[in-house]
Amino acid sequence: MRILHVLHQYLPEHVGGSELYTRWLASEQVRRGHRVAIFHRRDAEGPSTLSHRRDQGVDLWSAGSGRLGHVSRLASSFREPGLVRDFERVLDMARPEVVHVQHLMGLPLELPKRLRRRGIPFAITLLDFWWVCVNARALTKNSREVCDGPGLGFVNCARCGVARDPRVLPLAPALAGVLAWRNRKLRGVLLSAGRLIAPTEFVRGWYAARGAPADRIEVIPLALEHSPGIARALRPADRPVRFGYIGALSEQKGVHVAIEAFAGLRGEAELWIGGDERFEPEYVARLKALAGPGVRFLGALSREQVWDTLAEVDVVLAPSIWYETFCLSVSEAFVAGRPVIASDLGALADRVRPGTDGLLVKPGNVAAWRAALQRLADDPGLVERMGAAMRPPQTMEQVAEQVEAVYEAIR
């Protein structure tokens, strides 16, 4: 089968869950005998350009059309003729039988229309909340609270726009109208997709409650690359419990909550934090100001270093204050046999079994997080028992088979 994946950005320029999952899925599809290509946007100055390279048997088509800011990213949904032309060229060369849209942020909504004109079926994976929330996080910019939706007249969306840039306050009514128009167009794209793929039941329910066609949403988890075998090493008796966070260093991930909670622990413990520090330097500076003895920042980690770090920590933390849609770091922890302390919120609440393979804690509540950390710091035996109770997540081979069944259905 000829498959084309479409997403907003890609490796190595951007390294995140969407990009990594797309690469792993595409590589597995090549291994299964399919012809696979990826079309993505890259940041590039100047006029639209299209470049090609090969990576692990996958054809990568990178389209550059200027650098993106908050305003230009929104505007690009409505008009980017250069990107549309590049996409048409890729369709001519790749001749896909099915298209898998991983993300359209920063890409024109004209692309799905071109697929419909050519009679090419497409599926969409709901990797975040961008199809309803322009911030993609369903988290308010002003109060940093979970948001239920646009609100009457898209007033909630306008508030977020003003919080991002107070200079747009006089334009708030017009901004609300633009965002309402955006959401109508995005809803049309969702309705025209052959299938929607949700990584968890939580995401399926969230989108169905907001107008997505529930009968066309299938739940297929995300999966990891083929990971090296990791022996579940026991903690040396003379070493304190070591907590670890691996992921994006951004506020919605709640890393500050974990550091504040750790600061009040009684006795000895360690907290290792792995993540790229370049993208949100102000937040990273805040984290380092909060950090006290026992906190170690590891910086950006390669895939090999992720697994090496998981072999060294005892408990993985997922302190998000937003609705995670899946959280690949939880899967990494389960592969490594490490229990997880996670926020009792969104998909995290679906994935962690309290008292069996981890603990669930009220999101953003420093006192509750400190109590959970203290519980495991005081009872290393519980850490070992939960680690032994891990259920391995689905493999990429299993997930690719389920995705392939979706392709066959929409063809």
The second-level CATH assignment, the architecture, of 2-223+396-410 is: 3-Layer(aba) Sandwich (3.40)
Query: What are the structural domain ranges in the chain?
Result: 2-223+396-410, 242-388
Q: Which long-range contacts (CB under 8 A, 24 or more apart) does 201-206 make?
A: 201/350, 202/323, 202/325, 202/346, 202/347, 202/349, 202/350, 203/126, 203/325, 203/326, 203/347, 206/129, 206/138, 206/323
Is residue 361 within 8 Å of 331, Cβ to Cβ?
A: no
Residue 122 backbone dihedrals phi, psi, to 5 degrees: -145, 150
Q: Has domain 242-388 been given CATH number 3.40.50.2000?
A: yes
pLDDT in tens, the chain (411 residues): 999 999 999 999 888 899 999 999 999 999 999 999 999 999 877 667 899 999 999 999 999 887 887 778 888 898 899 999 999 999 999 999 999 999 999 999 999 999 999 999 999 999 999 999 988 888 887 778 888 788 777 888 878 877 777 776 677 788 888 889 999 999 999 999 999 999 999 999 999 999 999 999 999 999 998 666 665 566 677 789 999 999 999 999 999 999 999 999 999 999 999 999 998 999 999 999 999 999 999 999 999 999 999 999 999 999 999 999 999 999 999 999 999 999 999 999 999 999 999 999 999 999 999 999 999 999 999 999 999 888 889 999 999 999 999 999 999
- Considering the entire predicted model, what is its pTM? 0.93
242-388 matches 2-223+396-410 in CATH topology: yes
